[in-house]
Amino acid sequence: GEYYCYSSGKDGVPILHSKDLISWQHLGYALKDDEDKDYWAPAVIYENGVFYMYYSSIKVEEDDNHNEHMKVATSKSPEGPFKYERTLFDNFSIDAHVIKNDKGEYYLFYSVNDYHGIDWHRPGTIILCDRLIDMVTPEGNPRPVVSPTIDEEIFEKNRFHDGRDWHTIEGAFYINRKGRHYIMYSGSAYTNKHYFVGYSTSKDGVEWKKYPDDHTYRPLLCSNDIVEGTGHNSVVKAPNNVDDWIVYHGRDVAGGLDASKEQRKMRIDPLFWSGYSMWVPGPSYTMQDVPEMPKFRDLFDSDGESLSDDWTVCKGEWKVKNGEACQTLKNCVASAVNGTVLENYMFGISLKWEKSHMGGLYGIYACYVDSQNNVQVLLNVGKRKLCIFEVNCGILAGEKTIDIGKEFDFEVYHHMFVVKTGFLFRIFIDDILKAKVSYPFEKGCMGMVSYYTCACFDGVELTDYIELDSSNQIEFAKYIYCTQNGKKSFIQPWEIKGGKLICRGNDTNAFNEILFKNTPSNGYEFSSDISCEDKSIGYSGIYPVYKDRDNYMSLVVNWENKSTKLEYKLDNEIRFGYEQDMPSDICCFDDHTLFARKIGNRIFV
């Protein structure tokens, strides 16, 4: 897909556009109303053909920003113009963030003053959460999520001259990762040098705890000697749909603070994970590696008469215009296939139906070997079904159908996403898991297909990808093998259970390793969460690069002396070795992430 950034503005909501998170174009105002001013912290979400913008503003005759009230505006285009729909609250309410959970329910996070403003100990702005009945109607049962607990969250000391220090917790952003909930937030005031990003975690989405605890200041992102005022972030996926990037604002220290000017700039940095904890190497101020691209990508922005040479048109009339590829014939089974062949991958595409009295049947090849051997995922308009099946030696088999809700509008774009691991296919529609199916196709490419239907497609992205979890461990096991003391062994200490690789070797002198059968030679990323199960003894680690026992790079954790060692061996000679102590309070029973990225001849560990 593409990226749109909406920001605060005095006269309206400015909008920026990018295709890669690197180069940005200013598109003017997405929302502007002559009766309002001081538009704060807009947040936009897409649902069933409509873009909803949640923002706060005051009337032009107002001077008190404590009259910022949260509103909703809508548009059919991400670029706007957005049209005001309704005001959600009649009290000070800012910094909206709307999310959809895995059941398709929507929730609104936002910040207010009145819930915690009369607290004697730590009064201030806090983050609430409420369920949305529909996209413009809160349920009316908000609950607190993040409240002030430390001095570093003070907005202003003795702000209202009553002896109490006012605190601020704002800028909520929600992430769900591996079944755990995260709320990122900003503390203090953006004009303060110590304005920072922190986060709270929850296992059930109800009870929240700040990281590392409610009374310890350990910011995820804060000022350094070059950048200050870092906060109010979002997190987006890189174009490869794998890597997390944190997007936030900050200002240059060198310029000094001038409250009469807007000095904040949009900045991005990679967001890494250490087990269930986050880590950001920022705020950065030197040249960095750019966000990674997918293996194949087509945004259909060439405005040519036909598809590019990356596609093989099997049948149909395909036209590329205005950022979409449209199949315009209704008298055939039309398809176009990309030639990138992979075994394990993520494949995303947006698609919509062109209305016809005959109905419609359209979708994708989730895996394509040839016309007689493939896996198809189709939307059936008339029956309101999602249809998934294989064609094996020309015979349709293994069909699975799933109801599509009556509110689903086939005439607008929806996002279809496939994660393939071995024979297992996981199918998502608009970020909701719809099906897990198995079909006997080891590898293939992907494509677009329509049955006697005009349909449009956009935003094709294909990434070479495999990740172990509890749902795919049998398929994942096909791509690894175990060695012991450098030799293949029939007595193995390894086990896959609960989405984890577990080594229970009792011999501390034994050398047990898992290797991938097929390792990419060019650029790639590799990470593994590691921990000890019962004793803090022995070693564990990863190979960022591995050819054989005489040629490799290893990153190893020594749990007994709490150290890490990076070693590079070439032709059985150690060419590089580096050892570093870990923090003394590190716990070996917690998950810790070892990560490696190879770009050309450079390796980041």
User: How many helices (H) and strands (E) would you count in the chain?
Assistant: 1, 48
Adjacent-strand bridge partners of 241 = none
Residue 573 structure tokens: 């000679």
pLDDT at 508: 60
Residue 498 structure tokens: 């609960």
- Using the 8-state DSSP alphabet, how is residue 221 labeled? B
Report the distance separating Cα 361 and Cα 43, nearest Å.
34
By three-state DSSP, how is residue 321 classified?
A: strand
Which amino acid appears at position 35 of this protein?
E
Alpha-carbon radius of gyration of the chain: 26
Adjacent-strand bridge partners of 526 = 596
| Sequence-distant (≥ 6) Cβ neighbours of residue 587 within 8 angstroms | none
pLDDT at 451: 97
Report the distance separating Cα 481 and Cα 375, nearest Å.
28
pLDDT at 303: 72
Q: Before 81, cis peptide (omega within 30)?
A: yes
CATH number of 296-464: 2.60.120.560
Closest CA to 422 of 407, 410, 405, 439: 439
Report the distance separating Cα 475 and Cα 497, nearest Å.
13
Report the distance separating Cα 417 and Cα 351, nearest Å.
11
Q: Before 283, cis peptide (omega within 30)?
A: yes
E-state strands within 404-549 = 414-421, 424-429, 432-438, 445-451, 455-464, 480-484, 487-488, 494-497, 500-503, 512-516, 524-530, 539-548
Report the distance separating Cα 441 and Cα 466, nearest Å.
16
DSSP 342-358: BSSEEEEEEEEEPP-TT
Within the chain, all domains assigned CATH 2.60.120.560 are found at: 296-464, 473-604
Closest CA to 12 of 75, 57, 77: 57
Flag residues of the chain having pLDDT under 50: none
| Fold observed for domain 473-604 | Jelly Rolls (2.60.120)
